[in-house]
Amino acid sequence: MGGSAGKETDGGSSNTPVEHDAKEVRMVLVGKTGSGKSDTGNSILLKTGKSEDKPFKVELCGESVTQHCSCSTNEVFGHKVVIVDTPGLFDTKKKNLETLKELSRFMLLVQPGPHAIILVLRVGRLTNEIQQTIFLLMKLFKEDAYKYMILLFTGKDFLVRENKTLERFLQEVPADIKDVVRKCEKRCIAFNNWANEDEKKKQVKELLDMVESMVTKNGGNCYVSDLQEKLNQLVTSEDLENPDLFREKVLHENPTSNASWMWKALVAVANAFGWDM
């Protein structure tokens, strides 16, 4: 079985369901570098103001300044929203240690599993390279992850200038993207990350409503793949008591020996991809 929609579980030695915090919403942003993931993360968290005050750093050209996973949280419309950004992870086929480290980190940051997998694409920069991103995603999550996926198109301002609706735009995208749209049950949204504050709040509320509806349809559960379940077993009960502290540990921990828990996570991810260590 590729994966399951599971209750949030004790990450120790058992899979006993634990009480679900309905107010926490975990989202992971995936896609190519340059698609606007980091700007989108800042928008979803309603982080405005100076760039140095925003959790996800971007250059003036809009590119991410880091090639490492990052994570930030904020209270948004009554929900504790957790955003995990994955810059650069889905750009390469390289089977190197650094890639495995970041893939492991990404999976641990969303434990016990994401409520929403947000595939970020930029209007006007759509290419057939989406297949590489989908290939990696399916290695991590498997086919049933589509039930938890939303396509988010940045560059909504371009559509407005062209007097084009998102629905009309989707009729013109390449066939491989249309296939993903179909598998995601047409859960698509357009974002303008340069919009004014009121417009940003409106589009974030629309996204959260879409996520809430999707989670309800999925039985109120986060997505737990076979790989995610293996990694969840590495999380101690102590870590589960303080998820924010655990995420900080994941961001700064490095596998230093074959006995470390991060190394075990790295090996599990490598096995999922069929990569030799």
d(CA 214, CA 148): 7
Q: Assess whether pLDDT exceeds 50 at residue 2.
A: no
Neighbours of 229 (CB within 10 A): 19
CA distance 78 to 183: 30
Which amino acid would we find at residue 27? Answer: M
How distant, in Å, are the alpha carbons of 93, 134, 174 from that of 129? 12, 9, 11
8-state DSSP, 52: G
Is the model's pTM score more than 0.75? yes
Task: Between 5 and 192, name the one with better pLDDT.
Answer: 192
Between CA 249 and CA 61 the distance in angstroms is: 31
Quick: pLDDT tens for 226-266. Answer: 999 999 999 998 998 899 999 999 988 877 666 688 888 98
Domains and CATH numbers, the chain: 21-273 (3.40.50.300)
Predicted local confidence at residue 59, as pLDDT: 62
> What is the pLDDT averaged over residues 170-189?
92
What pLDDT is attached to residue 19?
A: 35
Counting every residue, how long is the chain? 277
From residue 209, give the alpha-carbon distance in Å to each of 30, 37, 56, 91, 264.
20, 20, 23, 30, 37
Encode 88-116: b = buried (16+ Cβ within 10 Å), e = exposed: bbbbeeeeeeebbbbbbbbbbbbbbbbbb
Query: Sign of the CA dihedral 151, 157, 160, 164?
Result: negative
CB 26 within 8 Å of CB 34: no
Residue 95's pLDDT band, with cuts at 50, 70 and 90, is low
Residue 68 near residue 102, CB atoms below 8 Å? yes
In contact, 51 and 59? CB cutoff 8 Å: no
Pairing of strands 79-85, 70-76: antiparallel
